[in-house]
A and B are shown apart, each in its own frame.
Chain A
């Protein structure tokens, strides 16, 4: 065996704990095993609880995308209790949800991803950066470092919008089943408009130009970290009394670029390389998993999830391509680019939605009798497709399943050895010198915006963007 085994750990600047085992062969990454190394067992924690606790409990799955879990749990309960959602509530929900997206994307871009491309100042927490491939001019570099600190403020403002309506952040309180418990009053609307104008200005004048600069200077990353073109989105931003309308459509897309609506029953999970085993104590017709941290050959707490027997990539890139905002490829830089583009779009949407609010009473009406005992709800979260599924009896949870975007992107190999998107993106990457290994692998992995708890075709954002066709 000429393959050299190197463990990339800790993969810092992300949410949660990630290690990646890399096998190098003649200057190329021959194999990669992405290990999520933390497990809390939220699906177990959710059992035997009152089902309406799901909104607050499941937000605790993820700190950087908490509103996503609160949102999908609310959609699930809306269906379970057959709620009717007022128009004001949908605008408020989407304002809060989009604000959390912007928070997430700003933090990912400036705090997590940017130090992969920018030389940071030599003091903690940036000391020992070891950026072996720094290409920006001193002036550009300095400007982007300054934007790092401004990005912190802009992301704080995003959470201020969320808290203004949601009570706090992370883990907002008002986006609940039946609607939203806060009143859209003129003072809140005005304050939020002022905040979003500042964020929009920052995104337009710093984040987009910074993204353009990095994508130009590091344009080889449009050819590095490429995944098979299989993308999936559950759609985003629900409207209508029954959450039946989607602003951004759901879809799956494969090589032929034809968009097909996803069907939830084509999703399957595989535990071949995950630290789980079948619980022998349960009868086979009620198959249960149990954690097994000693399982031979397994390397991660993430299960392998597939759609129609294939791994699919999820996230901003999938959403932007499926909705026709972006027509690039599926590389490291495409993922970074699509995320910045989405951030800009969302700052525009929030301004529109705020203006559509009608000041009035809290738009919430919760029904109290479940009309069914089994519900699955889906939406896209910051990092991609998110699914919650509940099976209840007398409003108590018997079983609660969650499939997060991280499960899609960080899927380990399935029983046939097929790789998931992140592993696929890493494998076959050329490493010109050994000191470049972590620099290159880090860039590829972070472009997926990992959360373990859960080139020339660049378009010009300022000119080629048509957002009017999706105005509501």
Chain B
């Protein structure tokens, strides 16, 4: 995949001219540095956000975060962010107005907060949808809040809030494309957020999402607005190259030197690796304070950022040409 970053680099907002603040181009480069120790974006991003806020008296990014059909793995993944840590994201980067997992309020107070935030920050808040949206049977397979008189389904909440938000971010592969929640036979009729809403959705896919991809996207929205997206609606900053392109085991592939079993150090293509058709920066970003990723753990990449994950990746341990079949 070839991405043209030139267009992105020229869009530098007027307000940044002559400032000491990092320009978008630099930010993009920081996000994409390929060969460093791995902690480049996360160690720098909070400093930049703070500098930006100090310089422009900018408020934090208002965020309403709705959890729908997924495993909750994405908010756990978010908690694994380092530099900034999740606590610093709360205090310094975003105003997390509603979040089923993290808000202190509960019950009717939480519902009131949601309704008031949607009204007060109309047109200004970022809606994060963590999970797919089931539409079968009027969406009754996912109810986010109930009152004495009615049930608010994920379908209703996403439609309501999605039309009021400045940006909509689908977090994880379920939210982006349906993911495991919509895996065959998909008896709940679950689908990605962009199929529910008649507007642009920023897909930050991954099962779960790498916290850098999510926090990096929020930082971009706060400082520069919408990031450049690929044809699947994902920020090119993180999804612009295939796993295969930067894989540490690429030289084995090029020489036709393939692993025979899990645990081997050769190319995992023979054992089902989805790297050649998966856009993600795992080989150099890595996971959890940048310590490891699936191929480094001697297992195949299972293509968890893809539109057709998991059905297009399974059986997980059979080579690409044998996948997608029973």
- A→B interface (CB under 8 Å): 5-17, 19, 21, 35, 37-41, 44-45, 47-50, 52-53, 56-57, 60-64, 66, 103, 107, 111-112, 115, 120, 123-131, 148-149, 152-153, 155-156, 159-160, 162-171, 173-174, 176, 178-179, 181-183, 191, 291, 293-294, 361-362, 364, 366, 396, 438, 442, 451, 453
A152 to B326, CA, bound (A): 42
Interface stretch among B31-39, B137-145, B215-223, B226-234? B137-145
Q: In the bound complex, do residue B73 and residue A294 qualify as a contact, i.e. CB atoms below 8 Å apart?
A: no
Other-chain residue from B106, B183, B315 in contact with A442 (beta carbon distance below 8 A): B106
Q: Which B residues from 283 to 321 make CB contacts under 8 A with A? A: 287-289, 291-299, 302, 304, 310, 314-318
Contacts of A17 on B, CB cut-off 8 Å? 67, 100, 142-144
Other-chain residue from A15, A159, A291, A293 in contact with B101 (beta carbon distance below 8 A): A15
Q: In the bound complex, do residue A168 and residue B79 qualify as a contact, i.e. CB atoms below 8 Å apart?
A: no
B123 close to A (CB within 8 Å):
no
Q: In the bound complex, do residue B326 and residue A48 qualify as a contact, i.e. CB atoms below 8 Å apart?
A: yes
Q: In the bound complex, do residue B69 and residue A167 qualify as a contact, i.e. CB atoms below 8 Å apart?
A: no
The 5 closest A-B pairs by CB, nearest first: A63-B73, A167-B297, A362-B263, A163-B288, A129-B104
Contacts of B181 on A, CB cut-off 8 Å? 40
Other-chain residue from A6, A45, A181, A366 in contact with B297 (beta carbon distance below 8 A): A181
Counting chain A CB atoms within 10 Å of each CB, which of B110, B144, B288, B289 scores highest?
Answer: B288
> Given the known A-B contacts A44-B185, A128-B109, A366-B261, are A62 and B72 also in contact in the complex, defined by CB atoms under 8 Å?
yes
Q: In the bound complex, do residue B298 and residue A182 qualify as a contact, i.e. CB atoms below 8 Å apart?
A: yes
Closest to A166 in B: B297
CB distance from A113 to the nearest CB of B (A): 12
Determine chain B's interface SS by DSSP, over half rule: loop
Q: How does the 8 Å CB contact mask read for B177-213 relative to A, with 1 for contact and 0 for none?
A: 0001101110110100000000000000001100000
A183 to B111, CA, bound (A): 49
Contacts of B103 on A, CB cut-off 8 Å? 12-13, 124-128
A66 to B72, CA, bound (A): 10
Other-chain residue from B69, B101, B141, B294 in contact with A12 (beta carbon distance below 8 A): B101
Q: In the bound complex, do residue B145 and residue A19 qualify as a contact, i.e. CB atoms below 8 Å apart?
A: yes
Interface stretch among B19-27, B48-56, B80-88, B248-256? B80-88
Contacts of A166 on B, CB cut-off 8 Å? 292, 297
Q: In the bound complex, do residue A63 and residue B287 qualify as a contact, i.e. CB atoms below 8 Å apart?
A: no
Contacts of A181 on B, CB cut-off 8 Å? 262-263, 297-299
> Given the known A-B contacts A148-B87, A167-B293, are A63 and B74 also in contact in the complex, defined by CB atoms under 8 Å?
yes
Q: In the bound complex, do residue A10 and residue B95 qualify as a contact, i.e. CB atoms below 8 Å apart?
A: no
Contacts of B102 on A, CB cut-off 8 Å? 13, 111, 125
B3 close to A (CB within 8 Å):
no
Q: Which B residues from 90 to 105 make CB contacts under 8 A with A? A: 90-91, 94-105
Counting chain B CB atoms within 10 Å of each CB, which of A61, A165, A169 scores highest?
Answer: A169
B77 close to A (CB within 8 Å):
yes
Q: In the bound complex, do residue A294 and residue B87 qualify as a contact, i.e. CB atoms below 8 Å apart?
A: no
B148 close to A (CB within 8 Å):
yes
> Given the known A-B contacts A10-B110, A182-B297, are A156 and B82 also in contact in the complex, defined by CB atoms under 8 Å?
yes
Q: In the bound complex, do residue A169 and residue B143 qualify as a contact, i.e. CB atoms below 8 Å apart?
A: no
Closest to B208 in A: A170
A366 to B259, CA, bound (A): 14
23 contacts between A and B (CB under 8 A): A9-B145, A9-B147, A10-B106, A41-B187, A45-B183, A48-B326, A49-B314, A50-B315, A52-B315, A60-B71, A63-B74, A124-B96, A125-B90, A125-B104, A129-B105, A163-B292, A167-B299, A171-B208, A178-B262, A362-B262, A364-B262, A364-B263, A451-B72
> Given the known A-B contacts A12-B100, A17-B144, A156-B85, are A168 and B110 also in contact in the complex, defined by CB atoms under 8 Å?
no
Other-chain residue from B134, B140, B144, B289 in contact with A156 (beta carbon distance below 8 A): B289
B11 close to A (CB within 8 Å):
no
- B→A interface (CB under 8 Å): 67-77, 79-82, 85-87, 90-91, 94-113, 134, 137, 140-148, 151, 180-181, 183-185, 187-188, 190, 207-208, 261-263, 287-289, 291-299, 302, 304, 310, 314-318, 326
A-B contact count (CB 8 A): 285
Contacts of A49 on B, CB cut-off 8 Å? 314-315, 326
Contacts of A8 on B, CB cut-off 8 Å? 106-107
CB distance from A5 to the nearest CB of B (A): 6
Other-chain residue from A37, A56, A66, A131 in contact with B73 (beta carbon distance below 8 A): A66
CB distance from B177 to the nearest CB of A (A): 14
Q: In the bound complex, do residue A6 and residue B314 qualify as a contact, i.e. CB atoms below 8 Å apart?
A: no
Q: In the bound complex, do residue A167 and residue B294 qualify as a contact, i.e. CB atoms below 8 Å apart?
A: yes
Contacts of B134 on A, CB cut-off 8 Å? 39
A60 to B178, CA, bound (A): 13
Contacts of A442 on B, CB cut-off 8 Å? 106-107
A21 to B299, CA, bound (A): 46
Contacts of A364 on B, CB cut-off 8 Å? 261-263
Q: In the bound complex, do residue B146 and residue A13 qualify as a contact, i.e. CB atoms below 8 Å apart?
A: no
A7 to B326, CA, bound (A): 45
CB distance from B59 to the nearest CB of A (A): 11
CB distance from A149 to the nearest CB of B (A): 4
Other-chain residue from A19, A152, A162 in contact with B86 (beta carbon distance below 8 A): A152
> Given the known A-B contacts A57-B310, A438-B107, are A10 and B144 also in contact in the complex, defined by CB atoms under 8 Å?
yes
Other-chain residue from A37, A155, A156, A362 in contact with B298 (beta carbon distance below 8 A): A362
Q: In the bound complex, do residue A5 and residue B148 qualify as a contact, i.e. CB atoms below 8 Å apart?
A: yes
Q: In the bound complex, do residue B293 and residue A168 qualify as a contact, i.e. CB atoms below 8 Å apart?
A: yes
Beyond the given pairs A49-B314, A128-B110, A164-B292, 18 more chain A to chain B contacts, judged by CB atoms under 8 angstroms and listed by A's residue number, are A12-B100, A38-B142, A40-B188, A56-B302, A57-B180, A62-B73, A125-B104, A129-B105, A152-B79, A166-B292, A168-B287, A169-B287, A176-B262, A178-B262, A181-B298, A183-B298, A294-B140, A361-B263
A31 to B100, CA, bound (A): 25
CB distance from A32 to the nearest CB of B (A): 14
CB distance from B193 to the nearest CB of A (A): 16
Q: In the bound complex, do residue A19 and residue B143 qualify as a contact, i.e. CB atoms below 8 Å apart?
A: yes
Contacts of A126 on B, CB cut-off 8 Å? 103-104
Contacts of B97 on A, CB cut-off 8 Å? 124-125, 127
Q: In the bound complex, do residue A152 and residue B77 qualify as a contact, i.e. CB atoms below 8 Å apart?
A: no
Contacts of B107 on A, CB cut-off 8 Å? 8-11, 438, 442
